Amino acid sequence: MRQIILDTETTGLSAENGDRIIEIGCVELLHRKLSGNNKHFYLNPERDSHEDALKVHGISNEFLKDKPKFADIADALLDYVQGAEIIIHNASFDIGFLNKELELLGKPAFTTCVQSVTDSLVMAKEMFPGKRNSLDALCDRLEVDNSGRTLHVALLDAELLADVYINITRGQDALLMAAESTDTGHGNTQLADISQLKLPVIRATEQELTQHEDVLAQLDKASGGKTVWRSQENSVA
């Protein structure tokens, strides 16, 4: 199972109004474990970032001037994510920008080359309804160290989100282990033959039966004669 945690930074909030991607960070998970095979791109958006966006990511227009354009890295990015499950926090935002960048190049939508897209924000809202579910809030709640996050940085945010995602889906580990244990084609697991095993039958003594009847009578009296077992006894009689 291959999963890619993805995050972007942009010049502003609206791809339809001309804002562009300036950074992409990707972190790979193989069978829910960090593989170290990550991808990171800074991009020249061919326009300046909005002032409010600069306050969020801190990536200056000057810094991006000599960086490759999205067209230069598009094929490498698509090859990297091919067939993987993509996990994004507030996925509609990043997917909207990726689709717009690909549209400008005459390429198919981003979702056509990946297996699926999972929105970790939707997952968090279902798990923690009524609470703040920003990346910082989830890091604090799940005790993921985000002390190095002073600005939004795509690769760092993807790394943090990977830790958050593993935490909020930790129960899946048990499911995966159970599925693997049923695969008799691998490993050295042997099933014990219990077909000949005989278990002793220990019957209640007369004293225990009498005490049991006393308890049932007390419960029946307390319920006003409405206990299920008494009604069933009467119907049989």
Pair 136, 157: CB distance under 8 Å: no
Query: Residue 174: which pLDDT band, with cuts at 50, 70 and 90?
Result: very low
Is 100 within the bounds of a domain? Answer: yes
The rounded mean pLDDT for the chain is 87
Query: Residue 87: which pLDDT band, with cuts at 50, 70 and 90?
Result: very high
Within this chain, do residues 124 and 225 fall inside the same structural domain, yes or no? no
* Residue 199 exposed, middle or buried by CB count within 10 Å (0-12, 13-18, 19+): exposed
**What does the pLDDT read at residue 220?**
73
Range of the domain at 222: 206-236
Is 26 within the bounds of a domain? Answer: yes
pLDDT tens per residue, range 106-121: 999 999 999 999 999 9
Within this chain, do residues 225 and 177 fall inside the same structural domain, yes or no? no
CATH number of the domain bearing residue 108: 3.30.420.10
Task: Report the chain's terminal Cα–Cα distance, integer Å.
Answer: 61
Query: Residue 151: which pLDDT band, with cuts at 50, 70 and 90?
Result: confident
pLDDT tens per residue, range 121-136: 999 999 999 999 999 9
**C-alpha torsion 156→161→167→171, nearest 10:** -140
Is 201 within the bounds of a domain? Answer: no
Residue 228 has, within 13 A of its CA and on its CB side, a CA count of: 0
Within this chain, do residues 150 and 210 fall inside the same structural domain, yes or no? no
Q: Taking residues 32-42, report their average pLDDT.
A: 96
pLDDT tens per residue, range 136-149: 999 999 999 988 77
Question: Of the listed 31, 152, 186, 212, which one is catalytic?
Answer: 152
Count of C-beta atoms within a 10 Å radius of residue 90: 15
Is 138 within the bounds of a domain? Answer: yes
Is 199 within the bounds of a domain? Answer: no
57 catalytic per annotation: no
Higher pLDDT, 32 or 216: 32
- C-alpha 175: how far from its chain's center? 14
Instruction: Supply the DSSP symbol for 47.
Output: S
